[in-house]
């Protein structure tokens, strides 16, 4: 509140100046009545000198404890109504370490109290509150928000439209080296990102300070995923309440697809295996494995893949054969994005590790 005092004093001085100068001119004559001061005004307008000896209305209008500038119906302690591009401007020339051009403070300890509020009716790129940092160096903020409460929000964005594509918070950067949104966990623990959905605010995704991510739904990646390892993890079918079950992915240096099944040869010892219609369009470099089950017999691939099928031949009729065929992807994306098996690290990454702790070296050598 002490920062509002200069503004209040300045406004009070306008009224005081008019009263002081009026009294001075009134007593300059031979009697107690004004001799040279002329003019008229409207009730509740704070007067101003329109000439050296004449008073008239100023832009200041007082209604009770409210003061209006450019309005006769002020709706606040200070209400400014102007046709100028900037209705109210405050500047400080202080060189203190902490200064404010405008400072708002809401003392209420309950309810929805706002230190500074703004709104706009613009259908363009309007902003209820706009902050800009014009410094060309340093770590200035166009807007800085903080919360001291354990349950507080340093910044809260709210888009109330029930239709369209509104966004509660948007970040945009022009620099090719810039970051549209940066999230920092200074303590080194906790969450960097948390997504919640529905009336009960159910967690649907999160990223913690260690870089671990969680997604409650499906994840689609249009590019290539590179990872240190992978698995599925489910509730253990034998004890789903108390255990989980995990299996590792099957890895390959090739972009390999695997197809398998079981077949029984006919009375001539022949079994034709029908593959998906897309098999030959998707794959190349086919490889085969056959395993005879139930009795001793011989089995061969008598006809390789052609027209999305291949033929198994056994030396006895009615033989059950377990088969497996693999192929290397040859679709357009695979051909354009083959995965290099072994690569030399770029110069800026040499001497660093993906997982330095696993090699017993300095964790700071993490790339």
DSSP of 244-302? EEEEEPPP-SS-EEEEEEEEE--TTSEEEEEPPTTHHHHEEEEEEEEEEESS---EEEE
Q: In whole angstroms, how far apart are CA 120 and each of 24, 73, 123, 247?
A: 46, 20, 9, 56
Task: Report how far residue 273's alpha carbon sits from residue 265's, in angstroms, rounded to the nearest whole number.
Answer: 10
Most confident region among 2-6, 188-192, 321-325 by mean pLDDT: 321-325
Q: Tell me the CA distances in angstroms from 60 to 41, 80, 81, 265, 288, one per residue in order.
A: 12, 9, 11, 102, 93
Contact 263, 319 (CB under 8 A): no
Q: What whole-number distance in Å separates Cα of residue 195 and Cα of residue 204? A: 6
pLDDT digits (tens, 9 = 90+) for 182-240: 888 889 899 999 999 999 999 999 999 988 999 999 999 999 988 989 999 999 999 99
Coil, strand, or helix at residue 349?
helix
With beta carbons less than 8 A apart as the criterion, state whether 278 and 268 touch.
no
Q: Are 319 and 265 in contact (CB under 8 A)?
A: yes
Architecture of domain 256-336: Sandwich (2.60)
| Strand 256-264, strand 320-329: pairing | antiparallel
- What pLDDT, on a 0 to 100 scale, did the predictor assign at position 282? 98
45/183 Cα distance (integer angstroms): 52
Mean pLDDT of all residues belonging to the chain:
86
| d(C-alpha 294, C-alpha 107), whole Å | 85
| In the predicted structure, residue 305 carries a pLDDT above the cut 80 | yes
Give the Cβ contact number of residue 102 at 10 Å: 13
Q: What is the pTM of this model?
A: 0.65
3-class secondary-structure state, position 214: strand
Q: What is the mean pLDDT of residues 53-73?
A: 92
Residue 26 in this model has a pLDDT that exceeds 70? no
Mean pLDDT lowest among 27-41, 89-103, 202-216, 235-249: 27-41
CB 65 within 8 A of CB 75: no
Cα–Cα distance measured from residue 351 to residue 333, given in angstroms and rounded to the nearest whole number: 33
Does the pLDDT value for residue 14 go beyond 70? Answer: no
Kindly state the average pLDDT of the residues 315-335.
97
Can you give the residue ranges of every domain in the chain? 2-80, 256-336
pLDDT at 143: 83
Residue 23 confidence (pLDDT): 44
350: pLDDT strictly greater than 60: yes
């Amino acid at each position: 509140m002490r920062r509002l005092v200069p503004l209040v004093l300045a406004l009070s001085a306008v009224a005081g100046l008019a009263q002081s100068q009026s009294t001075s001119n009134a007593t300059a004559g031979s009697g107690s009545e004004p001799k040279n001061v002329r003019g008229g005004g409207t009730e509740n307008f704070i007067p101003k000198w329109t000439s050296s000896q004449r008073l008239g209305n100023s832009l200041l209008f007082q209604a009770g404890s409210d003061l209006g500038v450019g309005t006769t119906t002020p709706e606040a302690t200070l209400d400014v109504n102007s046709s100028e591009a900037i209705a109210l401007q405050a500047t400080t020339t202080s060189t203190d370490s902490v200064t404010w051009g405008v400072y708002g403070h809401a003392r209420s300890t309950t309810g929805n109290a706002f230190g500074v509020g703004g709104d706009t009716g613009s259908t363009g790129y309007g902003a209820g509150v706009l902050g800009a940092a014009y410094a060309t160096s340093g770590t200035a903020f166009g807007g800085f928000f903080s919360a001291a409460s354990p349950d507080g929000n340093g910044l809260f964005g709210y888009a109330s439209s029930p239709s369209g594509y509104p966004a509660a918070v948007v970040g945009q950067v022009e620099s090719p080296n810039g970051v549209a949104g940066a999230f920092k966990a200074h303590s080194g623990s906790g969450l960097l990102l948390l997504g919640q959905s529905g009336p009960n605010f159910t967690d649907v995704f999160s990223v913690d300070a260690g870089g671990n991510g969680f997604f409650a739904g499906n994840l689609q990646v249009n590019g290539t995923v590179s990872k240190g390892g992978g698995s599925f993890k489910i509730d253990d079918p034998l004890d789903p309440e108390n255990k989980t079950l995990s299996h590792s992915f099957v890895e390959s240096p090739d972009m390999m697809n695997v197809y398998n099944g079981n077949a029984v040869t006919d009375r001539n010892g022949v079994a034709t295996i029908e593959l998906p219609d897309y098999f030959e369009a998707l794959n190349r470099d086919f490889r085969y494995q056959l395993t005879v089950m139930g009795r001793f017999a011989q089995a061969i691939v008598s006809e390789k893949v052609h027209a999305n099928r291949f033929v198994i031949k056994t030396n006895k009729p009615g033989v059950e054969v377990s088969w497996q065929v693999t192929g290397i992807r040859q679709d357009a994306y695979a051909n354009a994005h083959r995965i290099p098996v072994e690569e030399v690290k770029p110069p800026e990454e040499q001497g660093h590790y993906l997982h330095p702790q696993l090699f017993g070296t300095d964790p700071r050598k993490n790339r």
